[in-house]
Amino acid sequence: MTSSAIISHPIKSIADLPVDETLATALLSSMSEYSDQLHGRRLWLACSGGRDSLALAALCVQLYQQGKLPCLPQLLHVDHGLQSDSQYWAKHVANWAQAQQIPCCILQAQVNGHDEQAARQARYNIMRAHINQDDVLLLAHHADDQAETVLMRLIQGAGVNGLSGMQPWRVQTQGVQCNILWRPWLTIRRANISAYAKRLELPYIDDPTNDSGDNVRSGLRRDIMPILATYNHNVIDNIARSAQLLSDAQETVNAQAMQDMQQTENTDLQLLPAQRVLNIDTLQKLPMYRQRQLLHYWLGQDEPLPPAKQLVDDVLTLSQRDNQDHQTELFWQGRKASYTIRRYRQQLYRMSSDWLSWLNVPLTEQVLTLSSNSSSHSANNLTSFIVRSSDSYTWQLQVKPYALVRLLENSVDGVAQQIVLKVAPLDRKQRLKTEMAARPQAGKKLYQTLGIPLWLRESLMVVSITLIKKSEDGSEIETDIPLLLASPFESWLLSSEQTDSDAKSNQLAEYIKSELSLK
């Protein structure tokens, strides 16, 4: 059984048939432009079996046979089962590839939804999962596709970035994986590809949904583009040229926004991509249009699609508020993650949902008992305290008992028979004296003095030591010395009324501080 959507030409070898010079020139010119980036990378071609992708695959076969293409891409066909004949389409693509002696892999995808966007996302996800790090995915998008994309984004209210359309070379990251999307035909008209497919008698799949008009893209293709062509027959080329000009303009905007962000971001409070922070005072020194550009750029980092204008406006309004309400939260569901945007004092925070979940993981109290004799400890032994951990982030303290005991010997009066290092969550009623306050503080006053945002107040831990000595009458004397109060981003040296001089414990605290890490 076959499918009626498959053009009824027999499958035959096309290697020795005439090459279309226009299509070949576009591919080879793009390959030359990105030769450095292509060097050493494996090449794949997304092949639906439709006219455009099958034509690009055919051209690659021909140019490879002529020695103009250094290697053949491997075809990737995704069967997501949305069409009743999809299994026959997959078999047809495999048979055509076998006849051309071009490698082909059929992938099965599960679509969450029934619209074209869901199917497109499923295709990219399954292809990305199949290919390797830094591989290149070759796509057959052309000038007509570009024009439709720009019009779609225009009616959706896109800005310069969206209206710049698809890019010929785009680095795409998801998590730790990085791949490249390569579109060498964005200057080529659909008519040129159709003529080439007709000359070669390519048995491509003519998907009936492409021109059905039941989604925005096919509706634009069927109903709107022909009308626009009656006003200007160069409408496709003109829109594609505008997209390129807007792409150049976006590069200028991005360069300015990146420069502004380097001056505005608070790197001491950042953990990328979990938490990004902007200083509001520095932000407000910029002209209003640059504030908007910067917020648009800042919010959209780590995401393939930019934030909506309304979100940018809401974040700008949040930055301009002059009251002390720190409860306001803005929410953004991105493509890769969800984010919460909050303000505390003069800082704007963009935090991922994974990070906020990590902040809700309870801190663990841990104790390490040390011998007062440093010679009993190996100089290279390392002890780790996992303060808080999840699949995404780990906050830990690593100390060498030998080094710790040596510091204690040099900085604390007398000799202790037992030394206990303790790491514990801050109790809200616990009174601590930092260098920023004249007397010990607890609870809200301590948080305000140190400038701790609401969402970080359950993420404070105290590092202390307890020295246990024998008195003359044989009883034990315990001396508790708080050393350090730490958050995931900042640490504060503590003073103790139990010691003669802060300098005696500060050396210990500085050592502990240097061994804290968050990854």
At 375, the pLDDT band (50, 70, 90 cuts) reads low
- Which of 64-68, 79-83, 431-435 is modeled with the greatest confidence? 64-68
* Element spanning 56, H or E: helix 51-65
Q: Which residues are annotated as a binding site?
A: 48-53
Contacts of 80 by beta carbon, 8 Å cutoff, 6+ apart: 86, 108, 109, 110, 111, 119, 122, 123
What class does CATH assign to 21-247? alpha beta
Provide CB contacts within 8 A for 382, sequence distance 6+.
Answer: 398, 399, 400
pLDDT band at residue 36 using 50, 70 and 90 as cut-offs: very high
- The beta strands (E) that lie in 218-307 are given as 275-279
**Between these two residues, 2 and 191, which has the higher pLDDT value?**
191
122: left (phi over 0), alpha (psi -120 to 50) or beta: alpha
What is the per-residue pLDDT across 148-181, written as a single tens digit (0 to 9) for each? Answer: 999 999 998 888 888 999 999 999 877 678 899 9
pLDDT of 410 higher than 70? no
Band the pLDDT of 214: cuts 50, 70, 90. low
Asked if pLDDT for residue 415 goes beyond 60, the answer is no
Assign domain 265-353 to a CATH class.
alpha beta
CA distance 374 to 26: 72
Mean pLDDT of 224-244: 93
pLDDT at 76: 96
Say which DSSP state 466 is in.
E
| pLDDT mean over 463-473 | 79
Whole-number Cα distances in Å, 243 to 161, 184, 247, 335:
9, 15, 6, 23
pTM metric for this prediction: 0.78
Given CA atoms 255, 256, 257, 263 in this order, what sign does their dihedral have? positive
pLDDT class for 409, splitting at 50, 70, 90? low
- Is the pLDDT at 1 greater than 50? The verdict is no
Quick one: CA dihedral 23, 25, 30, 32, positive or negative?
Answer: positive
Statement: residue 24 has pLDDT above 50? yes
Q: Which amino acid, one-letter code, is at 467?
A: L
Residue 85: what residue type? D
The residue ranges of every structural domain in the chain are: 21-247, 265-353, 361-518
Detail the residues annotated as belonging to a binding site for ATP.
Answer: 48-53
Q: What is the mean pLDDT of the chain?
A: 88
- Check residue 477 and give its pLDDT: 79
Which of 188, 239, 240 is CA-nearest to residue 25?
A: 188
Provide the pLDDT confidence category of residue 235 given band limits of 50, 70 and 90: very high
Return the closest-CA partner of residue 93 out of 183, 6, 27.
6
Of residues 331 and 403, more confidence is placed in: 331
Residues 292 and 294: their CA atoms lie apart, in Å, by: 5
Instruction: Identify which has the larger pLDDT, 416 or 247.
Output: 247
CA angle 249, 250, 251 (to 5 degrees): 90
Give the pLDDT of residue 202.
96
pLDDT at residue 500, rounded to an integer: 43
Cβ-contact 348, 330 below 8 angstroms: no
